[in-house]
Amino acid sequence: MASSHTVLMRLVASAYSIAQKAGTIVRCVIAEGDLGIVQKTSATDLQTKADRLVQMSICSSLARKFPKLTIIGEEDLPPGEVD
């Protein structure tokens, strides 16, 4: 049980720092003024540059720290786009 608790605590701590980085990415994209909006599946299903960059950052950070973790993201990026 202690092992599960330790992993959970590491995951929560990592999630906090990863979210901080994601916020920085969003602010930078907004400051640039080009949101890079594209249509995903329909005219009402849009995706911004920030959406793509944040998901790539979150997925790659989690994959590096927790290689066995299954990650499901909203933006459906191809596996090759996550480093």
Residue numbering of the annotated binding site for Mg(2+): 74
Binding-site positions: 74
Looking up tokens 């290689």 gives 67
54-65 burial code (b ≥16 CB/10 A, e <16)? bbbbbbebbeee
